[in-house]
Structure 1
Amino acid sequence: MITLKDICFAYEDRPVLKHIDLQVEAGETVMLEGPNGCGKSTLIRILNALAFADLGTYEFDGDIIDEKSMKKESFAKAFHQKIGYVFQNPEAQLFCASVEEEIAFAPMQMGLPEEEVKRRVEDCIALLNLGSLRDRAPYYLSTGEKKKVAIASILSMNPKVLVLDEPLSGLDTETEEWLTGFLLQLKKSGKTMIIATHNHKFAGTVADRIVFMDRDHHIDHIWKRDTDL
């Protein structure tokens, strides 16, 4: 489904990613783990076509994802419907007047019929138990509630791939446990997920594979579930 070959990226000649090779299969949960500054967030941005590699190729479902292809509006729209990105800080992606409107926004932008939009909104509200919050403004919610709404607003697109950047960041223990269980449910349902995290216990609980990145901006090694952590 996703293939990265020899991906290199630098900010003003400062290397951030060096010769990254990575493949993600449909239905797989892959964790990106490593110290601050190792390039996890930059790799996440490249996967979501928010940044583009200086060298190497990114292939998604057989299509090359690069600056040229993403300049085609119809191609870019179709791509962003296939891959959903949950930011580390949920406030960065919440902007509507109510939770219900937030969840409906992406399906409406996809041009789906009104009845289908309503169905997806209700499904996501039920899935994340947001019924009591549907009329609330996201701005006034707790961090954990905002995280749930951010996830719901992405799942309403029904993307093939769900990408999360440090999903446990800022959460209390109870919400961390809820989110871990929820992601395990998505995994069981066959959702493809790519998750950046600092939390090794969380990674070991959820991942099929953990990709360890080092301070030199390489992939140091890859752990698979059938081996020891």
Structure 2
Amino acid sequence: MFRVENVTLKRDGDTIFENLNLRIEEGEKVVLLGVNGSGKSTLLKMLNALVIPDSGELLFENTPLTKKALKDKATNEYFRRSVGLVFQNIDAMLFNPSVYDEIAFGSRQLGFDDIDARVRNYADVFGLTPYLNSVPFKLSGGQKQKLALACVMSLSPKVLLLDEPTSALDPASTAKFMDMIAALNITTVTATHNLAIAPKLGERVIILDEKGKILYDGTSENAYEIDLLTRAGLII
């Protein structure tokens, strides 16, 4: 589904990734771990084609994700319909006058014909029905996080990219979210600092070191060994 081949990415003189190689197959549930500054959020943005590599190749379903390719309307629309990203900074995603309009925005942009049904379904899933007429910025942090998830899920994406998706959720909402992710028949890549919930978010674990290099890529069975997590700086 995704191929990252010999990718190098630099920002403001700093090297984020150098000769990064990674493949993500359809249907995989991947957990992405690493300390702050390891490049987790940048990698998710790159998979969402919001950041384009300086060199190397980034492909989705064998289609190169380049600035030139994404200028093609059909290619861009198909990709945006297929891949959804929930940002760590939720406020950066919310800009509509109401919760209803926020959830409906993506479906309107992509020309779906069942917008109202999508909005009401995902408002119900995330407990947002009482707030459909509310202004998004007045919601609590947890409600905003649920809203961001509803916005992306309403597009029925093939791939869901999640950056710290439970950071503002209470324990009950976190448990419900994990059950939902487990039940989804789509590809998910979830970046998290929460080692308590990480094993429940995917069978494949990718750990980045402080320099953005892949320290571990394998099954969850061997990913949470103390020595490995210590080398990654995730525990002391």
TM-score norm. by structure 2 comes to 0.89
In structure 2, C-alpha distance between the alignment counterparts of 1:74 and 1:128, rounded to whole Å: 31
In structure 1, C-alpha distance between the alignment counterparts of 2:179 and 2:135, rounded to whole Å: 28
For the Cα contact (< 8 Å) 1:180–1:206, is it kept in 2? no
Residue of structure 2 equivalent to 1:168: 166
Alignment of 1:1-229 (within 5 A): 1-113=1-113, 116-169=114-167, 171=168, 175-227=170-222, 229=224
In structure 1, C-alpha distance between the alignment counterparts of 2:223 and 2:49, rounded to whole Å: 33
For the Cα contact (< 8 Å) 1:28–1:190, is it kept in 2? no
For the Cα contact (< 8 Å) 1:9–1:55, is it kept in 2? yes
Q: Tell me the amino acid that sits aligned with residue 151 of structure 1.
A: L
Q: Tell me the amino acid that sits aligned with residue 134 of structure 1.
A: L
In structure 2, C-alpha distance between the alignment counterparts of 1:131 and 1:12, rounded to whole Å: 43
Following superposition, the deviation at residue 176 of structure 1 comes to 4.5
For the Cα contact (< 8 Å) 1:34–1:198, is it kept in 2? yes
For the Cα contact (< 8 Å) 1:168–1:176, is it kept in 2? no
Following superposition, the deviation at residue 205 of structure 1 comes to 2.1
Following superposition, the deviation at residue 101 of structure 1 comes to 1.2
CA, structure 1 residues 146+54, in 2 after alignment: closer, same or farther (shift >3 Å)?
same
CA, structure 1 residues 180+66, in 2 after alignment: closer, same or farther (shift >3 Å)?
farther
Q: Tell me the amino acid that sits aligned with residue 141 of structure 2.
A: T
RMSD: 1.6
Moved over 6 A (4+): none
Q: Tell me the amino acid that sits aligned with residue 207 of structure 1.
A: G
For the Cα contact (< 8 Å) 2:216–2:223, is it kept in 1? no
In structure 2, C-alpha distance between the alignment counterparts of 1:8 and 1:70, rounded to whole Å: 20
In structure 2, C-alpha distance between the alignment counterparts of 1:71 and 1:145, rounded to whole Å: 34
Secondary structure class of the residue paired with 1:3:
strand
For the Cα contact (< 8 Å) 1:162–1:192, is it kept in 2? yes
In structure 2, C-alpha distance between the alignment counterparts of 1:4 and 1:97, rounded to whole Å: 38
In structure 2, C-alpha distance between the alignment counterparts of 1:42 and 1:11, rounded to whole Å: 10
In structure 1, C-alpha distance between the alignment counterparts of 2:223 and 2:57, rounded to whole Å: 31
Alignment length, in residue pairs? 224
Unaligned runs of 5+ in 1: none
Identical aligned residues as a percent: 32
CA, structure 1 residues 176+68, in 2 after alignment: closer, same or farther (shift >3 Å)?
farther
Unaligned runs of 5+ in 2: 225-236
Q: Tell me the amino acid that sits aligned with residue 133 of structure 2.
A: D
TM-score norm. by structure 1 comes to 0.91
Following superposition, the deviation at residue 92 of structure 1 comes to 0.8
